Every structure is written in structure tokens, then in C-alpha cells.
Structure 1
Amino acid sequence: MTRVLIVDDEDLMRAGLAELLTADPAIEIAGQAGTGQQAIDQAAAVAPDVVLMDVRMPDLDGIAATREVLRVAPSAKVLILTTFEHDEYVFGALRAGASGFLVKRTRPEDLIAAVHAVHAGDALLSPSVTRLLIEHVAREQQPPVVDRTALEQLEVLTPRERDVLTQVARGLSNREIAAELVVEESTVRTHVKRLLMKLGLRDRIQVVILAYETGLIRPGQRPDADARRR
């Protein structure tokens, strides 16, 4: 079973999400919360597998709530729910440790699939959103200060794993990477899992951040430009 904690300040939204998710027999609603603080308390009490987190709440926003939920329930995965793709809170929540986000207009079947994907350890970011994240991080710090410690981390990777990391950081999906490298998509998934394990990263989002810190992605560079030329 995938145990889900639903966090939203609207009663109707929480009820609707609960009804939708429980249509899948492999999903159990572990709890519900209407505020950020309630989310933290609930996460500590029920240790959910996945937290569906609203970003705009009256007492504690999704950024702070995500950070604290992961502190009290480190094995949980946070999936951000937002109204707009460009929501300013999304980027902060991703930096706080969220494993991805969905817009609230997402189709029901896609929401269920997303919950299972995040529980399985996959980050849920489309390539376009990955590119937005790169650009946002780039705007935050100009010029970039290369993190030497992070750079040394890359030395544990094989040449192919480093190549895959670069493609992930540029916003390519597993399918696109497979096409670029002329390998099976399953091979790419294996490389991604291995490099995440070697680097001690949670998901693809942290790959993007690491890529910026090590100088693989720089301000003003189109995140996928080099990959498209290859």
C-alpha cells in the first residue's frame, strides 16, 4: 500500500482528492491536514509514504511545510500541488526537498500514477519544468560559484553515468536521453538510479541543482542546447 497524507487548506479539495485516490486499491489515505503545521504534526504521527502538499496556505506555506515534513518524516516523498506551473512557491519547495509537482488540473489517472511514481523513488518533473528550475537557480546566483566539494563528487561516476547526469540536468526525459545515446530507455533508468545512489541524491531535482553547483549548467545557457546538437 502507498500511504498518502493530503495537505490542502480547502475542505472540498481534500475530500475530492481522498475520494479520487482511494479509487485505487493500492492507495490508503494516512491522514489529512488543512494547514502547514497540521501537516508537520500528521507526518510525524503517521509517517506517510507520499505527501500531497498545497503550496499556498494561511499559516505556513508549502516551502516551509515541505522542509519540516521531511525533517520529521525523512522517508516521505512530497508531491507539490499547485494551480499554476510558474508558481513562485514551486521552486522554493523543490529546493526544500520536494520530489516533484502537479498542477491541480491534472487528470485523475495521472494523479494516481504520479503518487505511485513518487513513492517508487522517481522525481516527477517534466523536461520543461526542469528547464524552468535550471533557469530559476541560474537567476538566483550570478555568476555561479562552483562548489568544489560537489565537483569532487562527480569523480565517482563512470563516463557514461556522467554523460547521463548531464542530459538529466539539461532537462531531457529518460526517453530523450535514450534516443541521444542510442540505448534502451531501461538502460538509462538503470544509469540514473546508480548515479543517484553514488552521489547520495534523492532525485532528478537534486541532479539539476548539483549540475549548477558544479558548473555543468551556467546562466544564460539553454539547458538542452548542447544536447540537441549532439
Structure 2
Amino acid sequence: MKDIKLLLVDDQDLIRESLHIVLDMDPEIEVVGLAENGQVAIDLCREKQPNIVLMDIRMPVMDGVEATKRIKAEWPHIRVIIVTTFQEVDYVVEALGAGAEGYLLKAIHPKELASGIKWVHRGGTLIPQDIARLLVQQARSGAGGGSGANGAGAGDGAGSSGASASADAYGLSERELQVLHCIADGLNNKEIAEKLFLSEGTVKNYISNIYSKMDVRDRIQATRKAQDEGML
């Protein structure tokens, strides 16, 4: 019996059928339903109880973002991967904000797509490095641009003490805070290890501690929370 029960959601018949054929051949994946819009996806989630949904964003009747919100609200255990041709950061932010566990572009190779589905099924999140960097850049520019006239000088004296207070509130050590800054800069584990003269294993341990202390599950959530709390 196959472990992964997959629902494919896309308004294009050719894409749905192609993915169905390719992914259903995988020994771990069973395609349990095909939906042409978000409303049908919700109905099929209720009927078929998939554990993974591969969700397009741009669809008639109900788009993928709204469908993801509703699916996660009713069945939080169902994991959603957004698959789209649109690489604009706004779509990514909206999709992840809706609760999606992953984001991929339709140009991905089928084997990589299958691997991504399995990774998310095991509890991982799936955000390409280039998309993560764009999200970090947007978060930073948004934080800077949103300060306006009132925030022109706020980061000089009070900002550092505020960041320190927030870090203390979460119990982050100085080294963990350094790693958090590297995460916010979009560095991967290897790059963080090289910058801070640590082993990759040590970096992974620090990142696990950061996630646990900040109650987040991935780099994007950690960066967002750190931005919101004024820690960066």
C-alpha cells in the first residue's frame, strides 16, 4: 500500500493528466484525485482524505491560496505544496502565509517533484534557495520601507537594545543570534559554517535550537518572526 495519497489541483487538463501519469508510477505515491479548481479540491479533500495536495495558484472559481487556507483550517494534517509558473515573491508570501508547506515552479523535473513530495510528506518544508533569498530581501525592504518618518532614527540607539531584549525573551544565545542573522541573510548551512567557523553539524544544532526557542518550523518563519520582533 502506498504511503502518500496525493491530490492534484490544476485548471489545465494536460498538466493534471501528465502529472497523474508520472507521479502515480512512483512506488510511494498514489494519486487519489484530480481537481480543476480550489472548490473541487476542498470537496475531494473531504471525500478522499489525501495527505498531500499539489496546488496550483491561478485557477477559476477558487484560487489555490484561498483553497489552501480552507484546507489547512479544516484538515491541518494535510500538507500543501504550491506549484505555479509565477515566480513573483508576492505569490510565494501569500501561499506560505496561507499555510502551505512548500513552493515549487512547474518547470521542475518530475523526479525532483516526486522527491519534494516525499520530503514534505516526511515533515519537511520545500522552498527553493532563490525563492528564500527573494523572501528575505522582501522582508527586509518591507521592514525598512514601513518605518516611514516615525521610524527614521529608531534603529540607531533603541533598535539594538530592542533586538537584544527580544533575543533574551526567546533565550537565544549570542551564537544563536549570529546564526539567526545568517539565516535572515539567506545563507545556507555550509555558508553559515564557513562564515562563523563552525562545522555544518554544529550549525544544524544551532538552527534546531533557534526553531525550538522561537516556536517556528523553518527559515522563512524564523526570519519573519525575527523581523517582527525587531531582532535583526
TM bin (shorter chain): 0.7 to 0.9
Distance in 2 separating the partners of 1:152 and 1:184: 23
Amino acid at match of 1:10: Q
Task: Say yes or no: does 1:80 pair with 2:95.
Answer: no
State how far apart, in whole Å, the 1-side matches of 2:98 and 2:106 are: 20
Over 3 Å counting, the alpha-carbon distance change for 1:16 and 1:190 in structure 2 is farther
> Cα gap change, 1:83/1:184 in structure 2, threshold over 3 Å: closer, same or farther?
same
Structure 2 residue runs without a partner (length 5+): 152-158
- Residue 4 of structure 2: which of 2, 5, 18 is its match? 2
1:202 equivalent in alignment to 2:202: no
CA change 1:168–1:61 in 2 (3 A) is same
Measure how far apart 1:59 and its partner are. Answer: 1.4
Change (3 A) 1:216 1:131: farther
Are the equivalent residues in 1 in contact too, given 2:103–2:126 (CA < 8 A)? yes
Q: 1:188 to 1:73 in 2, by over 3 A?
A: farther
Q: What is the rounded CA distance, in whole Å, between the counterparts of 1:27 and 1:5 in structure 2?
A: 10
Match in the other structure for 2:44: 42
**What's the counterpart of residue 125 of structure 2?**
123
Q: How far does the alpha carbon of each residue in 1:128-148 deviate from its partner, in whole angstroms, 9 at most, with x for none?
A: 212211333345560189999
User: How far apart are residue 15 of structure 1 and its match?
Assistant: 1.5
Between the two structures, name the one with larger relative contact order (CA 8 Å, sep ≥ 6): 1
1:26 aligns with 2:41: no
1:185–1:108: structure 2 CA closer, same or farther, 3 Å change rule? farther
Q: Following the alignment from structure 1 to structure 2, what is the Cα–Cα distance between the partners of residues 175 and 39?
A: 39
Identity %: 38
Given that residues 50 and 79 in structure 1 are in contact (C-alpha distance below 8 angstroms), is that contact kept between their aligned partners in structure 2?
yes
Work out whether residues 130 and 208 of structure 1, in 8 Å CA contact, stay in contact via their aligned partners in 2: no
Gaps of at least 5 residues in structure 1 are 218-230
The one-letter amino acid paired with 2:98 is A
1:151 aligns with 2:153: no
* Aligned position for 2:187: 172
1:12-33 Cα deviation digits (max 9, x unpaired): 2112112222232122223322
CA distance in structure 2 between the aligned counterparts of 1:30 and 1:163, rounded to whole angstroms: 45
Using the alignment, how far apart are the partners of 1:201 and 1:163 within structure 2? 17
Q: Deviations along 1:123-165, whole A, 9 cap, x unmatched?
A: 22233212211333345560189999x9368523344433333
Partners of 2:196 and 2:133 in 1: how far apart? 20
Q: Distance in 1 between matches of 2:37 and 2:68?
A: 12
Q: CA deviation at 1:54?
A: 0.3
* TM-score, with length taken from structure 1: 0.79
Letter in 1 for 2:170: E
SS in 2 for 1:131: helix
Larger Rg: 2
Q: How many residues align?
A: 216
Q: Is the 8 A contact 2:179 2:192 kept in 1?
A: yes
For 2:207 and 2:99, the matched residues in 1 are separated by 18
| Structure 2 counterpart SS, 1:106 | coil
In structure 2, what is the Cα distance between the partners aligned to 1:201 and 1:157? Answer: 13
Give the deviation of 1:64 after TM superposition: 1.3
CA distance in 1, matches of 2:85, 2:120: 19
Task: Tell me the TM-score normalised to structure 2 length.
Answer: 0.79
